[in-house]
Amino acid sequence: MTVRAATGADIGAIMDVLEAAKGIMRASGNDGQWVDGYPSQEVVRSDIDLGHGYVVLADDGSPAGYFAFIPSPEPTYARIYEGRWLDDTLPYHVVHRIGSYPHVHGVFRTIMDWCFAQDGNIRIDTHRDNHIMQHCILRYGFRYCGIIYLASGSERLAYQLLSSGSS
């Protein structure tokens, strides 16, 4: 699989990927994340317009995943509760809105390998009920750091991973 910057022409395919990801969430008991139309086409278009939206392409060239890769600072990460960041001084990138098709395996690892080739300090968060994402995050080597709150007030579990070359 490969990663490339998303374009406006990808939005339809990205929305299909994100709907499939919502299906995975609902089937695994995660009914509280990505509700009320989120992430919307407007959110995805903003990711793309800001240069933060990326698609993961399957070996046949078709979109298999989507994510946003956003440079710090992330406003919702300014305060962390019941823990602390591994490092709170270095710049970092945040990975948001990871979605993939259920039949395509290895998307999370492809995304993270690409992200760490760009920056050695990555933060990510997920919903308490998103056990699949928590498993992927921890299996990749992220450390649980604490709880953050979105602008809406919703709680998220926050993680960080510093590669050995980060400084």
Q: Which of 158, 157, 159, 150 is nearest to 38 (CA)?
A: 150
pLDDT digits (tens, 9 = 90+) for 10-21: 999 999 999 999
Q: Which CATH superfamily is domain 2-162 in?
A: Gcn5-related N-acetyltransferase (GNAT) (3.40.630.30)
Judge residue 72's burial from the number of C-beta atoms within 10 Å of its C-beta, 0-12 exposed, 13-18 middle, 19 or more buried.
middle
Q: Which of 66, 106, 111, 109 is nearest to 93 (CA)?
A: 111
Mean of pLDDT over the chain? 95
CB count in 10 Å sphere of residue 129: 15
Res. 165 pLDDT band, cuts 50 70 90: low
d(CA 34, CA 64): 19
Alpha carbon of residue 50 to chain centroid: 16
- Cis before residue 39, ω within 30 degrees of 0? yes
Annotated domain spans of the chain: 2-162
pLDDT digits (tens, 9 = 90+) for 38-89: 999 999 999 999 999 999 999 999 999 999 999 999 999 999 999 999 999 9
